[in-house]
Structure 1
Amino acid sequence: MSGLEHYLLSFIFHYRYIGLFTVLSFGMIGMPVPDEFIMAFSGFQTSVGHMDFMKTLLLASVGSFLGINLSYWIGRRLGIPFLHKIAPFLHMNEKKIKKAEIWFQKYGERLIVIGYFFPGFRHFVAYFSGMSEVDYRRYTVLSGIGALLWTSTFITLGRLLGKHWQEIVPLLHRYLSRGGLILALIIILAYLISTNWNKSKNYQE
């Protein structure tokens, strides 16, 4: 267990619900917080009676929901102009950015719920949802569903695993991190294929 993880677990052990709420809120904005690890520990705490299961689930869901919605508005505030500033580092030109924006507006909503389960990838989805101005009412509903599913999964897992949560959750977190990277690569590949397909189609016409 790293120093950060030990500190966060101690923080949640002492401050319980408000600690969990605070840590997940900042974690969803993008701070280096082992979210799944934190939730599993909290689930374990409910199994020994130190925390109440329903209160834990409620505060975790609200905290992650608040954090990911703040990420949306940060992305929306920064906007596509911010993406233009960092575009040279991403090897993107203005035309590619516009196509990426249109593509995300068309397909990105499908990633909001599932994105929660992949570390790193969930932040990308949140920020880019804001940058591409995905309808906020729709985003609110989907991010709320995702928050509830995500937190209930790991808190329940920690509760069921009991003292064995430290053996299973780090492995699960590692595989989900790799899965997020693979998912991001698949999305980029799908975007490139769809872009080239449309380019070829327009050329033939």
Structure 2
Amino acid sequence: MAEWVQNVMDTLGYAGILLLMIVENLFPPLPSEVILPSAGFAASRGSLNVVIVVIVATIGSVVGTLPLYYIGRAFGEEKLVAWADKHGKWLTLRGKDIRRADDWFDKHGPKAVLFGRMIPGIRSLLSLPAGISEMPIFTFLIYSTIGSALWASSLVAAGYILGENFDQVEHYISPVSRVILVLLVIGAAVWFVRRKQAQKAETT
């Protein structure tokens, strides 16, 4: 994949980075851990300007968050609450669970978006609850931009410094992404089991 990403950048330049970062938010198997260090390597060869690379990568990353954000806005809290009350039983999900999650995001959403944009595995997923909770678009863009810029700067700098060994960045970050994914799955499973147990206790 790294070779293909490099070919896209060699062919399209900054436009390629922009496109790849937009797609990365919608298609997680194309991770920024591959794109950004590769862009940093391209800058180290002198074919791209490292500052412009970071700016373009940040713009692409932020633009890529908007589809999921607006999907969340389209559904909204009330629609999800109504759906959970009607169909969520098999997921042990109730309308009040949606409201509780929404209240949490209303309180901690900006921090979640800011730091979440720097966490592999959940970077793009946070756009959905941000939209569902109807976080103001300006607030969402501000925190998403800051988090995305910090993430892009770190990975581009790593690729720039490592040069031809830029692919080592992915080797270090990919295990972290897998651990986070596993923890999320385990957390969801634990929540599911506990909700089932709580429902059984309520009916006895």
Question: TM bucket by the smaller chain?
Answer: 0.7 to 0.9
- 1:27 pairs, out of 24, 38, 62, with 24
1:13 lines up with 2:22 in the alignment: no
The answer on 1:65 being equivalent to 2:62 is yes
Q: How many Å separate the matches in 1 of 2:67 and 2:54? A: 20
- 8 Å CA contact retained: 1:29, 1:123: yes
Structure 1 counterpart SS, 2:29: coil
Name the structure 1 match of 2:42.
45
Q: Which structure 2 segments of 5+ residues have no match?
A: 191-204
Aligned equivalents of 1:152, 1:184: Cα separation in 2? 29
Aligned length, in residue pairs = 187
Structure 2 counterpart SS, 1:122: coil
Tell me how far apart the structure 2 counterparts of residues 188 and 141 of structure 1 sit (CA, whole Å). 33
Amino acid at match of 2:76: G
| Structure 2 counterparts to residues 83-162 of structure 1, below 5 A | 84=83, 87-88=88-89, 90-162=91-163
Deviations 1:65-108 (A, max 9, x none): 11113321222123232573684564311121111111111122
- Over aligned residues, Cα RMSD in angstroms? 2.8
When residues 79 and 181 of structure 1 are mapped into structure 2, their CA distance, relative to the original with a 3 A threshold, is farther
Asked if the contact 1:118/1:177 (under 8 Å) is kept, the reply is no
1:164 alignment partner in structure 2: 165
Aligned to 1:36: 33
C-alpha distance in structure 2 between counterparts of 1:82 and 1:28, whole Å? 23
Q: Which amino acid aligns with 1:173?
A: S
TM-score normalised by length of structure 1: 0.79
**SS of 2:30's equivalent?**
coil
Aligned-residue sequence identity (percent) comes to 24
Is the contact between residue 37 and residue 170 of structure 1 (CA under 8 Å) also seen in structure 2? Answer: no
